[in-house]
Amino acid sequence: MVHRLFIFLIAGWSGFFVMAIELLSGRILAPNFGNSIYVWGGIITVFMLALSVGYLLGGRLSLYDPTLRRLALLLIGGAFATVLVIFLADPVLDWVFDRVQDPRYGSLLSATLLFFIPTTVAGMISPYAVRLLVNESRLSGHFAGLLYFCSTFGSAAGTLLTSFYLVLYFEIHQILAGLTGISLLLGLAAIFLGNFKNAPR
């Protein structure tokens, strides 16, 4: 029961994490490329493409002996990839702006360089989690529905809390650090649970 709860918790947090990062990405790109519909079009395109690739890769990875520990490692991997944004955002944006000043293509390239990998890794979580939950084919739709409910609810919560509250009280890098910290703690807790479950008795 606790094992299954952690799977839903990771899926919900992953949805929260992705939407929070997507909203923050607009603030990160704004000093160089503005906050126009072109910039947001580029950001949304990159995040949707990255998620689609993540869904594909996560489904493929789930074919090979899926475990809670590996799901936790995906969460941790996405967190580490996001930490790089804290340190690389300014130099990457300056480098892109010096070469591509058109906000349409500049924002598209910048969002790809900074956010494609962490979003792809986050996208792998949901299909992988579905595979962990499903032991009988007749229950696959039920568990998939529950998991995508948790993931989408997390996305809504991440959107609301980030846009209404977090950006008002914290700097962008502080929010990113907090998000990645929660991902690391949740991932480590899931690894501990997976090790405990598989420990010899």
* Separation CA 200–CA 44 (nearest Å): 47
Which CATH fold topology does 2-196 show? Answer: Growth Hormone; Chain: A; (1.20.1250)
Taking CA atoms, 62 is separated from 25, 74, 122, in Å, by 29, 12, 14
pLDDT tens-digit series, residues 31-50: 999 999 999 999 999 999 99
Query: What predicted TM-score, i.e. pTM, was given to this entire model?
Result: 0.92
* Separation CA 124–CA 104 (nearest Å): 28
Q: What angle do CA 124, 126, 129 make, to 5 degrees?
A: 105
pLDDT of 150 above 70:
yes
So where are the chain's domains?
Answer: 2-196
pLDDT of 201 above 50:
no
pLDDT attached to residue 165: 96
pLDDT tens-digit series, residues 85-100: 999 999 999 999 999 9
